[in-house]
């Protein structure tokens, strides 16, 4: 138990130790990427467990996000509201490389274990903090969830149909853009530390990580009449490319986009409408944009008579950029992602047979890290507190009784 064999020595973060106070998605995704890259991630929860665990109350399946994001981590409990809990935490921090948290701003300071305290204990420490709006500024204390960040950051105002209400993106993009940036920030600070020997406070605000995704829309905003609608359904954000849409088929929907003229010529031939290529109404992207409704109608007249399978095969062989709109079930069974090892079927003791993802970060010539299920609550408390803090079994019993772990 004293060694950590999972960390194959040739994984990029082998030897790195992370104290993970992350909750729900943003923090845990950052430390998920660390664990999968070979770091020893010690997830620290209150004795009640982090809130994402309680989703099992809805149903077992709702635990899946927790299982996804906490794979290959170790789990301990520590009550940071007790002085002995904080003492043990400080002991862990003194020999760690990274502490990461996504509490509301100020929580760690109020507990007396904020950055200014921890850096004294460990000057090489990277302290990473993630919030919705940041740890400074007038909106710092705004209550931030993925939904509210999607609202304030402009995502909703540019998603959905032009004649419909603003619409959220279905997936939790603010949480995960936040989490990826958080991981990125920690790695950057580690690169710096290798040069300077010093730790750093790293900060990420979800609101800020979302902004760059608006790039195309910002271009259109500055370039066109600013009063024009920037909510364009499945059409191009600037209504500047045609065809660019999602079209109905016999048994589903397909996205088609013609970025270059040869894409359009290939599509026209595929549709058995070579006449369109020289038709002044459709001969250039500019003319197709002027006749966008008609262009889309022509394509849908064709796609609506085809099966998804036929459409996919035909557009692929003719090199027309296209993709089926896949259901979640199709995504989970995607042969390509399974072949590449991004997705894996596992038999989980509680969830049954489910798909778990690996890390999207791929490093050539590394050993494969075996997936280890997320820790049950407090699973590794004994091992970690014994190995890293010298807590005896007798003391552990006492700590449990006192509610410290």
Instruction: Name the minimum Å distance from CB 106 to a copy of itself.
Output: 15
Nearer to a copy of itself, 223 or 274 (CB): 223
At residue 224, the 3 state secondary structure works out as coil
Among all chains, which residue has been given the structure tokens 């259901």? 327
User: Six-digit token pair at 147?
Assistant: 């939904």
Q: Tell whether residue 117 is a contact of a copy of itself (CB under 8 A).
A: no
Q: How many CB atoms lie within 10 A of CB 104?
A: 16
Where does 240-279 have alpha helices with state H?
261-270, 275-278
Q: How many CB atoms lie within 10 A of CB 2?
A: 7
Instruction: Name the minimum Å distance from CB 281 to a copy of itself.
Output: 20
Instruction: Name the minimum Å distance from CB 321 to a copy of itself.
Output: 4
Q: Tell whether residue 401 is a contact of a copy of itself (CB under 8 A).
A: no
Out of 108, 113, 158, 405, the residue judged to bind a copy of itself by CB under 8 A: 158
Site for a copy of itself in 232-291 (CB under 8 A): 232-234, 237-238, 240, 244, 246, 248, 253-255, 257, 259
Among all chains, which residue has been given the structure tokens 């062989």? 317
Measured distance CA(325)–CA(226) in Å, rounded: 31
Q: Tell whether residue 143 is a contact of a copy of itself (CB under 8 A).
A: yes
Site for a copy of itself in 35-64 (CB under 8 A): 37, 55, 58-64
Choose the catalytic residue: 97, 146, 175, 296: 175
Q: Tell whether residue 138 is a contact of a copy of itself (CB under 8 A).
A: yes
Q: Tell whether residue 332 is a contact of a copy of itself (CB under 8 A).
A: yes
Site for a copy of itself in 308-327 (CB under 8 A): 316, 319-327
Residue 383 near residue 3 (C-beta atoms within 8 A)? no
Q: Tell whether residue 121 is a contact of a copy of itself (CB under 8 A).
A: no
Q: Is residue 331 within a helix (H) or strand (E), and if so which, with residue range?
A: helix 328-332
Site for a copy of itself in 62-91 (CB under 8 A): 62-65, 68-69
Q: Tell whether residue 330 is a contact of a copy of itself (CB under 8 A).
A: yes
CA distances from 159 to 235, 296, 303, 322, 327 (A): 11, 20, 24, 21, 19
The residue length of the chain stands at: 405
Measured distance CA(310)–CA(296) in Å, rounded: 19
Q: Label residue 360 exposed, middle or buried (CB < 10 Å: 0-12, 13-18, 19+).
A: exposed
At residue 296, the 3 state secondary structure works out as helix
Q: Which stretch binds a copy of itself (CB under 8 A): 78-86, 202-210, 276-284, 392-400?
A: 202-210
Site for a copy of itself in 343-382 (CB under 8 A): 343, 351, 354-355, 357, 360-365
Instruction: Name the minimum Å distance from CB 165 to a copy of itself.
Output: 6
Q: Which stretch binds a copy of itself (CB under 8 A): 106-114, 171-179, 271-279, 392-400?
A: 171-179
- Among this protein's residues, is 163 annotated catalytic? no
Q: Which residues are catalytic?
A: 175
């Amino acid at each position: 138990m004293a060694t950590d064999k999972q960390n194959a020595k040739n994984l990029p973060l082998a030897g790195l130790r992370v104290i993970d106070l992350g909750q729900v998605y943003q923090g845990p995704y950052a430390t998920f990427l660390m664990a999968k890259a070979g770091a020893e991630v010690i997830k620290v929860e209150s004795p009640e467990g982090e809130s994402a665990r309680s989703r099992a109350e809805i149903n077992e399946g709702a635990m899946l996000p927790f299982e996804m994001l906490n794979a290959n981590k170790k789990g301990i409990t520590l009550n940071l509201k007790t002085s002995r809990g904080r003492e043990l935490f400080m002991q862990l921090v003194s020999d760690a490389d990274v502490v990461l948290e996504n509490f509301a701003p100020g929580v760690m300071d109020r507990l007396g274990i904020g950055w200014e305290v921890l850096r004294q204990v460990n000057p090489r420490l990277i302290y990473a903090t993630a919030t919705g709006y940041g740890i400074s500024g007038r909106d710092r204390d705004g209550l931030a969830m993925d939904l509210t960040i999607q609202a304030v950051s402009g995502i909703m105002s540019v998603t959905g149909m032009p004649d419909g209400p603003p619409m959220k993106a279905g997936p939790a993009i603010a949480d995960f853009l936040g989490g990826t940036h958080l991981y990125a920030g920690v790695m950057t600070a580690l690169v710096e530390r290798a040069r300077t020997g010093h730790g750093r406070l790293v900060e990420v605000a979800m609101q800020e990580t979302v902004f760059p995704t608006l790039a195309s829309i910002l271009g259109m905003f500055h370039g066109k009449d600013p009063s024009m609608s920037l909510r364009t359904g499945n059409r191009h954000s600037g209504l500047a490319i045609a065809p660019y849409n999602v079209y109905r088929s016999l048994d589903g929907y397909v996205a088609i986009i013609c970025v270059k003229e040869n894409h359009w010529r290939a599509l026209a031939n595929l549709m058995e409408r070579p006449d369109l290529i020289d038709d002044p109404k459709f001969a250039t992207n500019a003319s197709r944009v002027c006749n966008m409704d008609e262009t889309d109608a022509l394509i849908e007249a064709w796609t609506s008579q085809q099966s998804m399978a036929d459409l996919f095969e035909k557009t692929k062989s003719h090199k027309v950029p296209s993709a089926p709109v896949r259901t979640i079930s199709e995504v989970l069974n995607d042969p390509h992602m399974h072949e590449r090892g991004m997705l894996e079927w596992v038999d989980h003791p509680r969830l049954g047979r489910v798909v778990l993802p690996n890390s999207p970060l791929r490093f050539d010539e590394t050993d494969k890290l075996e997936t280890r299920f997320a820790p049950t609550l407090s699973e590794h408390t004994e091992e970690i507190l014994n190995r890293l803090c010298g807590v005896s079994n007798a003391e552990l019993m006492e700590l449990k009784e006192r509610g410290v772990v």
